[in-house]
């Protein structure tokens, strides 16, 4: 099973919206076939391992990192492939929570007389496929919050300059993470201050879908994030706005090629929970949150950060600069958010502290109340470019996912690496907001 997990890891960054899966076929102690899922729409790990084994797959034991699928998607069911090949035993690390599978794959195997063992290296498999499992269980992408600060806790100089806090090695790691995540998210203040491209500058890298939380549509149409990446792939951009975003600004951004998503968190800002739910419906499994601090606190309040990656650079800036985490903060130490399964390592000259975020009771209760209110109000409205059917424009060129409640059309899978040119209409939908200018929302990143 350890070898199967190693194989599955080779698919990181290329299999979404599918999970990463590895499969090893063995006759006794001898490996006779191997395979891993390499890309969505292509053969699954079990099928590739069976092809590798040939006739030696009959009577073999199959070690699979995730329960074999039992439904017809873009490829046939893996459960049927294993049965047809005549394997004698299937060892599975963990169940697939997808409603189309959820134990059915194992039931099909057992019904065919195949011995099934479940739970081998289950913890490791769950960590490995955390993005897929989180999305299927919670209905939102798995979120990693990445931030960086100096040793004295600063994220910029007194003049607002932040390039570069960390060293070359840390920045290269972040580029790799962008390739591995489906979405990269920032607040509009980051766009206005730094004008980032948000591309994945790695060899054969995949630039993620770009998401900007921008309450009143202040993102400039000439922002660098709209530019194609180094491979000429057109940027895929979504702007999440609040209810007061002026229609004229929205129309300009839509004309530039962005998809506009409007929701309300009750404070005039886009709802984190509704935006993440829409992303999940569009096929996104993972999101890299790159700031800033106020937006990160909003994610934390929504119980929507799964893992923290905190770089600390050996530099001292002094002054009273901003913190990597903003918001109201907590009143007592008992209310603090804490990290579990913490790891500390050096990346070049920097330190990287990583851990899974553990939420205190007050966050859990507040997030549940917010989610309940959001469900009452209905899901967010999409205001993307209108296509021939009058619905919201596809986020990316890939098979459509089920429509989110309240949306006008099913968004396409967000994890595709290419997208069609927008066909935008020239008028903004009425529900986007008034045509008068609106001030920035106080404290917005």
- Known catalytic residues are 46
CA distance linking residue 67 with residue 102, whole number of Å: 8
Q: Name the β-bridge partners of 241.
A: 262
**8 Å CB contact between 11 and 43:** no
Q: What does the chain come to in residues?
A: 445
CA distance linking residue 221 with residue 210, whole number of Å: 14
CA distance linking residue 236 with residue 304, whole number of Å: 23
Q: Using DSSP, how many helices (H) and how many strands (E) does the chain show? A: 12, 15
What CA–CA distances, in Å, run from 267 to 37, 264, 303, 443?
Answer: 43, 7, 17, 11
CA distance linking residue 229 with residue 237, whole number of Å: 13
CA distance linking residue 371 with residue 379, whole number of Å: 10
Tokens of 436: 């008068």
CA distance linking residue 272 with residue 258, whole number of Å: 18
DSSP per position, 337-348: -EEEEEEEEEET
Task: With H, G, I as helix, E, B as strand and everything else as coil, classify residue 27.
Answer: strand
């Amino acid at each position: 099973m350890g070898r199967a997990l190693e194989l599955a890891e080779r698919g990181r960054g290329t299999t979404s919206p599918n999970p990463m899966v590895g499969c090893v076929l063995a006759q006794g102690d001898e490996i006779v076939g191997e395979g891993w899922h390499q890309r969505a729409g292509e053969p699954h790990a079990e099928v590739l391992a069976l092809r590798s084994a040939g006739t030696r797959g009959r009577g073999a034991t199959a070690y699979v990192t995730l329960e074999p699928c039992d439904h017809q998607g873009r490829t046939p069911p893996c459960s049927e492939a294993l049965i047809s090949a005549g394997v004698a035993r299937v060892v599975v690390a963990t169940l697939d929570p997808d409603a189309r599978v959820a134990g059915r794959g194992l039931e099909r195997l057992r019904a065919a007389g195949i011995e099934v063992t479940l739970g081998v290296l289950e913890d490791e498999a769950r960590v490995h496929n955390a993005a897929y499992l989180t999305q299927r269980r919670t209905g939102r992408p798995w979120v990693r919050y990445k931030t960086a600060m100096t040793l004295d806790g600063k994220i910029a100089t007194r003049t607002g300059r932040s390039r570069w806090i960390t060293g070359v090695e840390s920045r290269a790691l972040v580029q790799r993470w962008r390739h591995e995540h489906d979405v990269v998210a920032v607040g509009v203040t980051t766009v206005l201050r730094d004008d980032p491209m948000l591309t994945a500058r790695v060899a054969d890298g995949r630039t993620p879908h770009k998401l900007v939380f921008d309450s009143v549509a202040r993102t400039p149409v000439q922002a660098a994030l709209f530019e194609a990446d180094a491979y000429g792939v057109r940027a895929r951009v979504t702007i999440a706005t609040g209810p007061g975003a002026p229609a004229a600004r929205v129309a300009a951004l839509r004309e530039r090629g962005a998809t506009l998503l409007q929701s309300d968190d009750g404070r005039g800002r886009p709802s984190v929970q509704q935006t993440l739910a829409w992303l999940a419906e569009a096929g996104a499994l993972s999101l890299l949150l790159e700031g800033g601090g106020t937006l990160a606190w909003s994610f934390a309040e929504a119980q929507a950060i799964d893992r923290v990656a905190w770089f600390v650079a050996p530099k001292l800036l002094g002054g009273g600069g901003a913190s990597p985490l903003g918001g109201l903060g907590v009143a007592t130490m008992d209310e603090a958010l804490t990290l579990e399964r913490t790891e500390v390592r050096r990346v070049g000259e920097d330190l990287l502290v990583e851990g899974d975020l553990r939420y205190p009771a007050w966050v859990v209760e507040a997030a549940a109340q917010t989610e309940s209110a959001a469900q009452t109000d209905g899901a967010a409205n999409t205001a993307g470019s209108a296509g021939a059917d009058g619905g919201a424009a596809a986020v990316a060129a890939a098979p459509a996912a089920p429509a989110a409640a309240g949306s006008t059309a099913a968004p396409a899978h967000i994890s595709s690496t290419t997208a069609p040119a927008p066909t935008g209409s020239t008028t903004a939908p009425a529900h986007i907001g008034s045509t008068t200018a609106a001030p920035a929302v106080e404290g917005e990143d």
